[in-house]
Structure 1
Amino acid sequence: MDDERSSELERRDARTIEEKPRPDAATEAAVRRSLGARRPVGAPRSAEPVDRLDLLTDVLTPELAALAVLWLGGTRRASTQTRIAYSDDLLLWAEWARRELGRDRFALDLHRAEITMWLTQQQDAGATESSIARRLSTLSSLYRYAASWGLQVVSPISDDDHRPKFHRGRRATSARVLLADDISAILAAATDVRDALVVGLLFTGALRVSELCGADDSDRQDEGRRTWLVITRKGGESVRVPLETTVAELLDLYVAIRPPWTGPGPAPLVADAAGNRLDRHDVTRLLRRLAKTAGIPRPEKVTPHSLRATAITDQKRRGLNAEDIQELSGHADVRTVMIYIDDDGRAERVSAITDDLGRVMRAVPRHLRRSGS
């Protein structure tokens, strides 16, 4: 009887080992491609970028590193920029645990009091409620995913102690809304094609910065006289957005001088000077530099989302109906709303919106545009 029980325990232990999170090679390769590279946390700006997946492997326990690959590769995190944001937040958690808790490698073993300590430090450092909420959400999501595998983890995040309380409607941390004339001034301050292109894409397309940064060169589609861009919305849905005429021209000019892409997979639509994919921090620095040059008050408050919020607000003020504004912005409930209106001519309506927003593109300096345009 003892021998039978021993054999059963061995079989059970074997099943447990087999069920541990272990990503296959294809999933790991796909996650590695989508994450790209970045400088190590705390490294000087001159440091060479390192694959994010290698950075995670260095700071996470082997078990958590394997779980993180599966977590990042899941369909709920299908957007490239979502995966990058989650991995960067996880790197920040690991660096905090190393610095404050003395952990060489990060694991899902934090206690409630430690989260309270992290929260207090974030608030003392002036972190916004939205940043705190996002990083807590990242950690909470990973804990839930670990529990779904049957791992014995308990989330240390408490709604009572840790979750920032948000109020509906606009608040101090909402994106700053500018005027269309401000966008024209920002465009006029551009000294190279790429900067003007980034501003034009964000404003005339009312794009999220994740949609811009996640776009690949292969996502461009030319049909007749209209150029389209396939972008990935929140949740992983791919949609086509029209490019305003001057924006499409700037894209043509930029592609001709864009630094060569040497990484795996398709080239990014817009790259930095070294040819690497832009991230939201690159875009924010670009916009604030242009805003400062243009004399925009409080340029440090200008963000990529400011351009999206400005575009939506501009069209609302010019009398565009709510349904078409939702179509332009691609909010999560757009499908529910759009089933109640006639879908005929939708592409033409959105194209007209893009062209109307494109009136600011006349401010692009002539030497950045094609001769005679």
Structure 2
Amino acid sequence: MTEAAVRRSLGARRPVGADRSAETVDRLDLLTEVLTPELTALTVLWLGGSRRASPQTRIAYADDLLLWAEWARRELGRERFALDLHRGEVTMWLSQQQDAGASESSIARRLSTLSSLYRYAASWGLPVLSPISDDDHRPKFRRGRRATSARVLHADDITALLAAATDVRDALVVGLLFTGALRVSELCAIDDADRHDEGRRTWLVVTRKGGESVRVPLETTVAELLDLYVAIRPPWAGTGPAPLIADANGHRLDRHDVTRLLRRLARTANIPRPEKVTPHSLRATAITDQKRRGLNAEDIQELSGHADVRTVMIYIDDDGRSERVTAITDDLGRVMRAVPRHLRRPT
């Protein structure tokens, strides 16, 4: 992948720590500002590698690397980040992350990002030694629905979030995340051109982890909200494909924007511990809701698009997939009746 292709796939974001009103900047330009020239060149090759084929994976790696560089600047006084961290410095970072209440999964992901970059550098014969120790630094946590996983709400909580919405975009974001069981990275990456209307059904082409593109059906009220939102959506202020959903300044939403939006609605809806509501909470809630309502594991895999889907789906005939997922989406859409009447299309 060329540098230009890497730049396009990374997109833009606000600088780390910048105010919400700040203009977005190409991620590659942000990396160039905080990395040494040598590490910048290596990072372009690393992010452009075939093992990081998913745009969401590249963006997550780039954002994690920006956080590492900002931490090294702030705590270690290094204006340019290089692969020269010591084991003790990573231990200091880990202690600060834990003291700040960072989840074990977030800590593990950021360590994995840095470890992957060190391994890549070593594969090129560069004299680097990873400072990350499996014994000292890797969080020991079991995967699954634990306290460190996304908080699972109830369908009634989603109804309350929708009822608290004061504009179409907020209701649309909640509806898409819940009825589509979307990852926030998938939601933010959807372009305007990824929408397709076929008869009375609207579909979105969503890029899953690993780069696979799938069609996701929209529940009827969510599709109506999308029509209303598109009519008032701010003009696209960037370059390249226009996003499906933008912020007030016409920039592509990022996961931080979505998290703030949901927590604002959660506070308005008086949902306990609103600070624990995340975009993944809506995805986890949708999956849990359907499990409780008796949906079989195979169709839950279809809805969620988990990475292990190949292992499960070999037992399922692909015929009727669209009908099954459409039925799931429509069932989840029962909460959309809570969208305030003034946000709905006149009948």
Q: TM-score, normalised by structure 1?
A: 0.89
RMSD: 1.4
> Contact conserved, 2:152 with 2:285, CA < 8 A, in 1?
yes
Supply the distance in 2 between the matched residues of 1:225 and 1:77 (Cα, whole angstroms). Answer: 37
Q: In the superposition, relative to structure 1, how do residues 320 and 44 fare at CA in structure 2: closer, same or farther (>3 Å)?
A: closer
Shift of 1:41: 2.3
User: Distance between the aligned counterparts of 2:18 and 2:175, measured in 1?
Assistant: 32
Quick check: 346-355 or 296-305, which moved more?
296-305
**CA shift for structure 1 position 130:** 1.5
Distance apart, 1:81 and its partner CA: 2.9
Which digits, 9 at most, give the CA deviation of each residue in 1:126-166, with x for residues without a partner? 22211211110110111112122222222111100100001
Shift of 1:262: 3.0
Instruction: Give 1:84 shift.
Output: 2.1
Shift of 1:115: 1.0
Q: Give the Cα separation in 1 of the matches to 2:19 and 2:161.
A: 29
User: Offset of 1:62 from its aligned partner?
Assistant: 0.5
Q: Distance in 1 between matches of 2:12 and 2:197?
A: 30
CA distance in 2: counterparts of 1:76 and 1:264, whole angstroms: 26
Shift of 1:39: 2.7
Q: 1:315 to 1:72 in 2, by over 3 A?
A: same
| Whole-angstrom CA distance in 2 between matches of 1:283 and 1:290 | 11
The alpha-carbon deviation at position 52 of structure 1 amounts to 1.8
- Measured in 2, the distance between the counterparts of 1:236 and 1:166 equals 27
> 1:88: Cα distance to partner?
1.6
Gaps (5+ residues) in structure 1? 1-26
Per-residue Cα deviation, 1:241-275 (whole angstroms, up to 9, x for no partner): 11111111111111111111132211011111111
The answer to whether the 8 A contact 1:59-1:104 is kept is yes
CA contact (8 A) 1:188 1:365 kept: yes
1:80-120 deviations in Å (ceiling 9; x for gaps): 33222211211111122222222221111112121112112
- Tell me how far apart the structure 1 counterparts of residues 172 and 305 of structure 2 sit (CA, whole Å): 21
Cα distance in 1 for residues equivalent to 2:195 and 2:203: 6
Give the Cα separation in 2 of the matches to 1:302 and 1:104: 35
2:36 and 2:80 in contact (8 A); partners too: yes
Aligned-residue offset at 1:36: 2.6
Q: Deviations over 1:45-76 (max 9, x none)?
A: 44333222111111111110011112222233
Residue 336 of structure 1 deviates from its aligned partner by 2.0
Residues 207, 308 of structure 1: 8 Å contact kept: yes
Cα distance change, pair 228–45 in 1 and its aligned pair in 2 (3 A): closer
Rg larger for? 1
Offset, 1:231: 0.7
CA-to-aligned-CA distance 1:6-30 (integer Å, 9 cap, x gap) = xxxxxxxxxxxxxxxxxxxxx2222
> 2:206–2:215: 8 Å Cα contact kept in structure 1?
yes
Contact 2:56 2:209 in 1 (8 A): no
Task: Give the SS at the match of 2:157.
Answer: helix
For 2:248 and 2:238, how far apart are their aligned partners in 1? Answer: 14
Give the match for residue 318 of structure 1.
Answer: 293
**1:103 to 2:51 alignment:** no
CA change 1:46–1:263 in 2 (3 A) is closer
Deviations 1:195-251 (Å, cap 9, x if unpaired)? Answer: 010000000001111110111111111111111111111111111111111111111
Alignment partners' CA distance in 2, 1:202 and 1:76: 27
1:251 matched to 2:226: yes
Asked if 1 retains the 8 angstrom alpha-carbon contact of 2:13 and 2:254, the reply is no
Q: 2 CA distance for matches of 1:135 and 1:240?
A: 30
The farther-off stretch of 162-171 and 276-285 is: 162-171
* Residues 168 and 46 of structure 1: CA distance in aligned 2, closer, same or farther (over 3 Å): closer
Distance 1:168 1:263, change over 3 A: closer
Q: Any conservation in 1 of the 2:298–2:312 contact (CA below 8 Å)?
A: yes
Cα pair 1:178 1:310 within 8 Å, conserved: yes
**Relative to structure 1, is the Cα distance of residues 160 and 218 closer, same or farther in structure 2, using a 3 angstrom cutoff?**
same
Count of residues in correspondence between the two structures: 345
Q: Is it true that 1:70 corresponds to 2:45 in the alignment? A: yes
Identity across aligned pairs (percent)?
A: 90
Mark the CA change 1:59 to 1:226 in structure 2 (over 3 Å): closer, same or farther: same
* Pair 1:45–1:249, CA change in 2 (3 A): closer
Q: Take 2:300 and 2:27, find their aligned partners in 1: how far apart are those partners?
A: 36
TM-score normalised according to structure 2 size = 0.96
Return closer, same or farther for 1:168/1:266 CA change in 2, 3 Å cut-off.
closer
2: CA distance, partners of 1:157 / 1:214: 31
Over 3 Å counting, the alpha-carbon distance change for 1:332 and 1:188 in structure 2 is: same
Contact 1:81 1:213 in 2 (8 A): no
Q: Secondary structure at the match of 2:272?
A: coil
> Do the aligned partners of 1:37 and 1:50 also contact (CA within 8 Å) in 2?
yes
Tell me if structure 1 keeps the 8 A contact 2:205–2:213.
Answer: yes
Please give the alpha-carbon distance, in whole angstroms, between the structure 2 residues aligned to 1:152 and 1:139.
Answer: 16
Preserved CA contact (<8 Å) 1:202 1:209: yes
User: Could you tell me how far apart the structure 2 residues matched to 1:243 and 1:191 are?
Assistant: 21
In structure 1, distance between residues paired with 2:15 and 2:316? 49
Whole-angstrom CA distance in 2 between matches of 1:103 and 1:229: 44
